[in-house]
Amino acid sequence: MKSKLAFFLVKFPSTAIGLFFVFTLIAAYLYPGSQREGIGFECDHYSFTHNFLSELGTFAINSDETNPFTIKEDNTPSMILFNGSLVLVGFTVLLFYLYFEKLFVFAQDNPRAIKNSKIAKPLGVLAGILYAGVGLVPHDLHFGWHVFFANGAFLTLLFLCVFHALAVYKSENFSNRYAFGYVLFIVFLAVYLVIIFFGPQIGPGTIYTESDLILQVVAQKIIVLTFIFSILFQVWGIRNFLKTS
């Protein structure tokens, strides 16, 4: 059991996150550029402030533009790399939380820690499926379903992180700093959910300003990065526990 825990809670997520970073960077490098006629923006490369991550996963660039003269260049290489890495992340989250509960049982931990890890399990499986769905349904394939998977993934993640943090906090084997690390991420995530649900809406047929776009795009990247670092922080704590157990 210890070797399985080490693989699914430490080695596999570390490798998957590394691949996500590499594939996303390559996808961004290969991205042909974009144009947003409504705000007068045009760029011949991927923009950190004006392009959502999901734009790396579209079949063609400028798919939201209604002007028939807008160039809609093929984006297949970036699409395969980014969407593939996103499906991998979803699969990783799913596996991580299937084994998260087993970690506390293996440690013969506090019953309250085990209880919270049991609640986190189905939420983690759901979050993993939703994140994989974001990659499987590019927004220029079906915008509505893409948004459903993306917003659902982040909303599920909020509740998941609460029970994850409670499990670690109640644990007799893990330092509370790992729980507080997730609590900090929960705060960031809550702010991001307010932005995506109540902030300016960006999408086909919507009217928005350049500052509206930058707010949503940058907020998305910040929450993705903080989520990745939060997971790696938990992985580090689990690795240290398994080494000494």
pLDDT tens-digit profile of 91-135?
A: 999 999 999 999 888 878 788 999 999 999 999 999 999 999 999
pTM, 2 dp: 0.87
Contact 177, 93 (CB under 8 A): no
Query: Where residue 171 falls among pLDDT bands split at 50, 70, 90?
Result: confident
Query: What SS3 class is residue 60?
Result: strand
User: Which structural domain, as residue segments, surrounds residue 171?
Assistant: 2-244
Nearest residue to 98 (alpha-carbon basis) of 146, 53, 145, 160: 160
What's residue 64's pLDDT?
Answer: 63
Query: Where residue 75 falls among pLDDT bands split at 50, 70, 90?
Result: confident
Query: Where residue 181 falls among pLDDT bands split at 50, 70, 90?
Result: confident
Tell me the C-alpha to C-alpha distance, in Å, between residue 231 and each of 43, 107, 225, 227, 237: 33, 20, 10, 6, 10
Domain count across the chain: 1
Query: Where residue 63 falls among pLDDT bands split at 50, 70, 90?
Result: low
